[in-house]
Structures are given as structure tokens and as C-alpha cells.
């Protein structure tokens, strides 16, 4: 009887501790929402494949006073690059493409460079020399591109910033090129490939391509903070058809936790392939810490112990962190641009790592 009472007390105590941690995390989310002045924030973390905590605070629609929820669809911004990189590496595993072949192997009419040709390896690691957005108008694009191939017209004839493979310069356009390569190699549209080989594999039913002007069920509004200051106000929708593989997707917190767990469980690519993606490919002298579609968080010699991606665009501020050795996934999605979500994501990470120690 004493053993039963002790066991019961132990379980109740653990439950109380867990509830206290949940309450503290929820309070931190409320505080962060108030301090950041975002319209709405959705976040969560998972440990060992189990979702330990997920919640949302604020509004998906301020005018309509519609609360944001964890299953509210929000733009993920540049986290899309990690998904696209995994798709590329799937095709590499299947022997359908060569990381070091000139991209003209797959896109024959892409302009050739005078000396060194751009390769898939360059594109994955942002060492291709391709430039980013030229100005605010281009960054806030409103033009509709009917295909990713059409979107190449925006930048393909521009002079490179440097000889491919000699420097690092982050560019979303490089991932647009990767999207075209995925289409040419697989014979599917980028959206079809991602649905079949990434999202469906992870049971991500609420993730997809943002369609300009389309009404998406259970989707958040788009908000911004001017200059990163003041309260959130309604933003102007950007047409993402020129950057879908690098920043044109929407998702939810549960879907992103499924995605992270699927990365950890090698649902998309083999463990050896993920290890390759976690290597420092963005040039040692640049001190950047970027692999293939992943930022490598942590200082030497521990670069890559934490991988993930941040995202920032109109109506979106996001942070994904994955800790492979601890089986931890953290995601923060804000429906407001110019919100620094990294600090709160770090708090969630510390809380999640405490769960690992239990």
C-alpha cells in the first residue's frame, strides 16, 4: 500500500512540475507577444518525437478579432529552403543528379559564365555568386510568374557578384534555380514533388505553396511593423511566385514539428545524407556556418550540433531549430514581419533541452 501511495504521489508530483513548466512557457509566450507587438505568434517544441508543448497567442485577423491558433496557416519564409534542399538531396541519393555538374546539365538554356559554371553545390550553399533582390520593389514583388522557369528571367542574365565557389552571399534566387532543377529532373511541378516526397511523407496536411490573391482556409492575415517598431499593422501582400522554393510556402506549428521529427527519423534522406547537409559548405573564410539548406548553429568545433533556418518576409518572422543528438525540434511562427523571434525560440530550446534531462 505504501509503494502504491508513493508511486501515486510521484506521478502527481511529476504532473505538477510538468504543468508548472507549461504555465511558465505559456506566460513567456504572452510576454513575448506583448513586447514584440506582433499580431499573432504560434510556437511549439517536441522531444523524442513527442509534441510536449504548442500554443498560440494574439490574432490571425486583428480587425475581425479572430484568434490565432496552432493550426493557423502562416507563411514560413526562408524555412522553405531546408525543405527544397532535402528534395534536391533525395534526387541525389537516387542518382538522378550530380551536385558538381554545371546547372546547364539540367537547364540547358541557362546562361553560361565566362569561367566557372554554377553547380548545384554552389546553389545549396549560397556560393553561386547570384545576387539577391536588387531593390525594395523587387523584394515586394507583385508580378505573377506562371512557372518557376519564367521566374528565372528576373535574374539569370545579371552579372554574378563573384566567381562561383569563391565567396558566400545569401540569395533566395539560387533556390528558385534549384526548384527548376527539381522539376526538370523529376518530371513533376515543384509543388507536386514537394507534396508527394516531403509533405505527404511527414503527414503535413496543412503545408503548401502560397498563391497570390487566393483565399486560403484557416490562414492568417499578413502584418508588419514599420521599421521594426510600433504595433502590427496590415501589410501589403507580396507575390511569391518568383521565390517559391526559397520562401513561398505556408505551414502550421504542428506540421513543422512533424517536419522536424521526420528529419530526425530520416524519413526524407538517409542519416549519411543528412550528415553531408550538416557539413560547413559555405566557405571557411566566410565564417558563416551554412550547410546544404541549413544554418549551422553553434561555435567550432560544434557547428551543426543545432541546425535549422530563420525566415523573414512581409507577414512572416520564423525560426526552426533541430538538435539531432537530443531529438529536439523547436518552431516559432509569427504572422508579422520584422519581429525578432530568435530570442523566444532560444527560450523554448532551453526548456526543451531540460525535458531531455528528465
pLDDT tens figures, 39-69: 999 999 999 999 999 999 999 999 999 999 9
State pLDDT tens for residues 24-40: 999 999 999 999 999 99
Confidence of residue 298 (pLDDT cuts 50, 70, 90): confident
Would you say residue 125 lies in a domain? Answer: yes
Q: Which CATH number is 85's domain given?
A: 3.40.710.10
pLDDT tier for residue 355 given thresholds of 50, 70 and 90: confident
pTM, entire model: 0.93
Q: In this model, does residue 259 exceed pLDDT 50?
A: yes
Cβ atoms of 329 and 321 within 8 Å: the answer is yes
Q: Which of 53-57, 213-217, 267-271 has the lowest mean pLDDT?
A: 213-217
Q: Are 246 and 176 in contact (CB under 8 A)?
A: yes
pLDDT of residue 194: 98
How far apart are the two ends of the chain, measured CA to CA in Å?
Answer: 27
Mean pLDDT score, 311-325? 97
Instruction: Report angle CA 28, 342, 260 to the nearest 5 degrees.
Output: 95
Residues 342-348 have a mean pLDDT of 96
What's the pLDDT score for residue 1? 46
Q: What's the angle, vertex CA 203, arms to CA 197 and CA 206, rounded to 5?
A: 100
Q: How far apart are CA 235 and CA 244, in angstroms?
A: 19
Percent of the chain with pLDDT over 70: 93
User: Which three three-digit cell numbers place residue 297?
Assistant: 548553429
In a domain, 23, yes or no: no
Contact 211, 249 (CB under 8 A): no
Query: How many CB atoms within 10 Å of residue 241?
Result: 21
DSSP string, 26-39: HHHHHHHHHHHT-S
Q: Is it the case that residue 156 has pLDDT exceeding 70?
A: yes
Provide the pLDDT for residue 16: 46
Is 200 among the domain residues?
yes
Question: Which pLDDT band holds residue 299 (cuts at 50, 70, 90)?
Answer: confident
> Smallest Cα–Cα separation from 250: which of 204, 289, 295, 307?
204
- Tell me the per-residue pLDDT of 224-258, one tens digit each, with 9 for 90 and over: 998 777 899 999 999 999 999 999 999 999 999 99
Average pLDDT, the chain: 93
Per-residue model confidence as pLDDT tens digits over 105-154? 999 999 999 999 999 999 999 999 999 999 999 999 999 999 999 999 99
* Domain interval for residue 265: 38-357
For the ranges 11-20, 261-270, 297-306, the one whose mean pLDDT is highest: 261-270
- Residue 75 inside a domain? The answer is yes
**What proportion of the chain, given as a percentage, has pLDDT over 90?**
85
- What digits encode the pLDDT tens for the residues 4-20? 444 444 344 444 445 56
* C-alpha span between 144 and 210 (Å, rounded): 12
Give me the pLDDT at residue 266, please. 98
Long-range contacts of range 237-240, CB-CB < 8 Å, 24 or more positions apart? Answer: 237/212, 237/213, 237/314, 237/315, 238/139, 238/140, 238/141, 238/142, 238/313, 238/314, 238/315, 239/141, 239/142, 239/143, 239/144, 239/212, 240/141, 240/210, 240/212, 240/313
Indicate whether 3 belongs to any domain: no
**Structural domain tally of the chain?**
1
- Confirm whether 24 is domain-assigned: no
Asked if residue 66 is part of any domain, the answer here is yes
Residue partners of 7: CB distance under 8 A and separation at least 6: none
pLDDT at 228: 74
| Order of all β-strands in the sheet with 208-209 | 74-75, 249-251, 208-209
In a domain, residue 300? The reply is yes
Assess contact for 328 and 24: CB atoms under 8 A. no
Confidence at residue 165, expressed as pLDDT on a 0 to 100 scale: 96
Give pLDDT, residue 341: 97
Q: Which helix (H) or strand (E) holds 334?
A: strand 328-334
Alpha helices in 148-189, H assignment, sequence order:
148-151, 173-186
Instruction: List, in order, residues 6 or more apart from 244 with CB less than 8 Å away.
Output: 80, 148, 151, 176, 179, 190, 191, 209, 210
pLDDT of residue 358: 67
Neighbours of 24 (CB within 10 A): 12
Judge whether 303 and 324 are in contact, CB under 8 Å. Answer: no
Sign of CA dihedral 87, 90, 96, 100: positive
Amino acid at each position: 500500500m505504501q509503494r502504491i501511495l508513493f508511486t501515486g504521489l510521484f506521478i502527481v508530483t511529476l504532473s505538477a512540475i510538468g504543468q508548472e513548466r507549461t504555465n511558465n512557457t505559456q506566460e513567456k509566450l504572452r510576454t513575448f507577444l506583448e513586447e514584440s507587438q506582433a499580431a499573432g505568434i504560434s510556437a511549439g517544441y517536441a522531444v523524442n518525437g513527442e509534441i510536449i508543448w504548442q500554443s498560440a497567442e494574439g490574432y490571425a485577423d486583428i480587425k475581425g478579432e479572430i484568434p490565432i491558433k496552432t493550426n493557423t496557416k502562416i507563411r514560413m519564409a526562408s524555412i522553405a529552403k531546408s525543405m527544397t534542399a532535402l528534395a534536391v538531396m533525395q534526387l541525389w541519393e537516387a542518382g538522378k543528379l550530380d551536385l558538381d555538374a554545371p546547372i546547364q546539365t539540367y537547364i540547358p538554356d541557362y546562361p553560361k559564365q565566362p569561367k566557372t559554371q554554377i553547380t548545384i553545390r554552389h546553389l545549396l550553399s549560397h556560393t553561386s555568386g547570384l545576387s539577391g533582390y536588387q531593390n525594395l520593389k523587387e523584394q515586394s514583388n507583385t508580378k505573377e510568374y506562371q512557372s518557376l522557369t519564367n521566374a528565372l528571367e528576373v535574374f539569370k542574365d545579371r552579372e554574378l557578384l563573384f566567381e562561383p565557389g569563391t565567396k558566400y552571399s545569401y540569395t533566395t534566387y539560387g533556390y528558385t534555380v534549384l526548384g527548376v532543377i527539381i522539376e526538370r529532373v523529376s518530371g513533376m511541378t515543384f509543388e507536386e514533388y514537394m507534396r508527394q516526397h516531403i509533405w505527404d511523407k511527414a503527414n503535413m496536411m496543412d503545408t503548401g505553396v502560397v498563391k497570390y490573391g487566393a483565399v486560403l482556409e484557416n490562414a492568417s492575415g499578413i502584418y508588419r511593423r514599420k521599421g521594426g517598431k510600433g504595433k502590427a499593422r496590415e501589410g501589403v501582400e507580396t507575390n511569391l511566385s518568383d521565390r517559391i522554393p526559397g520562401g513561398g510556402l505556408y505551414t502550421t506549428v504542428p506540421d513543422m514539428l512533424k517536419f522536424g521529427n521526420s528529419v530526425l527519423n530520416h524519413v526524407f534522406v538517409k542519416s549519411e545524407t543528412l550528415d553531408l547537409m550538416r557539413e560547413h559548405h559555405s566557405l571557411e573564410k566566410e565564417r558563416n556556418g551554412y550547410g546544404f539548406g541549413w544554418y549551422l548553429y553553434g561555435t567550432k568545433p560544434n557547428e551543426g550540433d543545432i541546425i535549422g533556418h530563420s525566415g523573414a518576409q512581409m507577414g512572416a518572422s520564423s525560426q526552426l531549430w533541430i538538435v539531432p543528438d537530443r531529438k529536439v525540434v523547436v518552431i516559432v511562427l509569427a504572422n508579422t514581419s520584422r519581429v525578432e523571434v530568435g530570442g523566444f525560440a532560444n527560450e523554448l530550446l532551453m526548456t526543451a533541452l531540460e525535458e531531455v534531462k528528465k
